[in-house]
Structure 1
Amino acid sequence: MFLRERYDLAMRSSALVARWRAAPSGRSWPWVVGQIAGAGLAGSLLGPCLFVVAVFVFGLGPIVLVFAALFAMVVLYVVALMTRKGSSMTATPGGRTIWAGVVLILGVIGWVAGASALGKLGLSTTDPLWWSLLSAIPFALAAALCAGGWISLVSLTLTTALILTGCS
């Protein structure tokens, strides 16, 4: 009886190890692309709001920033929730919150840098469609940076190229 129990335990544990090794992480290209596109869509919606918030900060004070940041965090958290398998960061609720915060901070920094670069180059636009499209780029790059793997390297390269183009 003792040998039979040991044999059963060994077979179950080896089957668990084999299943664990063969288990896919769940991360696949459609989820990664969906997460990057979702962050870009959120950025295209949040971009015009950033300008409005910047105008109201001068009149109403920094309390507007708190509400705007909370709204943006909720929007990005929903994107992370819908595309949980797009990044290893978005697998847990805490990771989704961190992902939303990182994408928000990097996206806003990229948005401000892009707006100042466009202003320096004299390419400022008032067309809402172009404004929304240009607002999507920094948020999509930030989400791609959080995706991990070689996508992060491509995102970092594109970001560096855009910064160098804007600074020259």
Structure 2
Amino acid sequence: MLQLRDLPTQEVLQRFAQRYPAADVTAIASFLMLLRVATDLSVALDACLSKHDLLQGRWWVLILLMREADLTSTPSVLAEKLGVTRATMTGLLDGLEQGGLVKRVLVPEDRRSVKICLTEAGQAKLDAVMPDYYTRLRLCMQGLSAPQRNDLQVILGVIDHGMSAWDFNQ
């Protein structure tokens, strides 16, 4: 993953705007800062999870299973919720199963179907990771008051709504 460490100055952005009239300097600066912070957060999350011998994709699968009342789901539902292909999900599940963190269980009504279950070892892994994760998350966000955090969620929701601008199928 590329990381833009050197954000452009206002002067540089103004030069770009002179050359490209569609350029909105404040939108560019905000976008680049958001992109950089998102990348930094992802890298920090990777570092935190690696201390617990996990990768983000596998961790998210464990989280998704833990969210279920019966701690089970299907590979296709997990893939959809995680936004990955079924092939990618198969690879994630293979690694988790090899580590004993999940198990595949055949569905008696349809022997072609499989459910994925969070194992006790998988729950224990989450129990080891989550306090560290939540502590780091709290420290990361401590500079924002509760109302500012709510405002941030609203702002990010507005940005998310504008993501259709990046849909090249329209």
Same fold (TM over 0.5): no
Question: Which one has a larger percent helix, Structure 1 or Structure 2?
Answer: 1
Which structure is richer in relative contact order (CA contacts within 8 A, separation 6 or more)? 1
Structure with max Cα Rg: 1
Question: Which one has a larger percent strand, Structure 1 or Structure 2?
Answer: 2
